Amino acid sequence: MKRNRKEYNKQWCLKNKEHMKEYRKEWNLKNPEYYRKYRAENLEKVREATRKWAAANPEKNREAQRKWRAKDPEKARETNTKKNRIWRANNPEKPRASNIKYRANNPEKIKIFRRKWKKNKRETDPNWRLTENMRSAMNGALKGQRKAASTMKIIGCTVEELFENLESCSTWEPWMTRENYGRGGWDVDHIIAISKWDRNCPLQFILCWDKSNLQPMEHIANIKKGAR
């Protein structure tokens, strides 16, 4: 009798899937603690069931994901970031190979992206702007020769320390800020001009670019000063 009853219930549930679906949904909403506990104790089972359902119902899954992202975008971003991090950790070679292939097939897109990224970085990050400007100026002074060390190592400090050093100079003016550093604001000037040093002498080159030989100067004044 018990077996017949069990079979009857099974068949009834199969014939009334929509009804059972709504019933389970309502029951889960009314009993969140039980559902959370069951999920925690059967995590792999729940994940496998979810994967199977998603594979069998791609359109419904996409729609459910879209609604979930719209309802809680912050949590969706965090979840996607976490999933991407785990996937990359478990598949370190795949993203690298994919990136290499994409760059090889889309050189113009990569060039445009880098140009935009650098422009935005230059406009919004004073530390990056100062580092790039110092690197560019140093490479220009070397006229094709290779540097013996990195730009900031030759200067003798970090970019943050360089800013602090410039802010402590006697030529620093109240209107000067890190944000208005660069064209139209103020420049980094060499107290003893680059032209006075022998770039072929390693010691003189280091002394020329050492932080003690650098000072802030208003942009127009620096242009007028020239190589003096």
More confident residue, 25 or 215: 215
- Give the total number of structural domains in the chain: 2
What residue numbers bound the domain in which 101 lies? 45-105
Q: Are residues 81 and 135 in the same domain?
A: no
Closest-CA residue to 165 (of 198, 209, 226, 121)? 209
Residues 58 and 100 in one domain: yes
Whether 79 is in a domain gets the answer yes
Find residue 190's DSSP bridge partners: 214
pTM above 0.85, yes or no: no
Q: Please write down the long-range contacts of 189-196, taking CB distance under 8 Å and 24 or more positions apart.
A: 189/214, 189/215, 189/216, 189/217, 189/222, 189/225, 190/214, 191/215, 193/227, 193/228, 194/141, 194/227, 195/227
Q: What is the pLDDT of residues 27-55, one digit of tens each?
A: 877 777 877 787 788 888 888 888 888 88
Average pLDDT over residues 138-147: 89
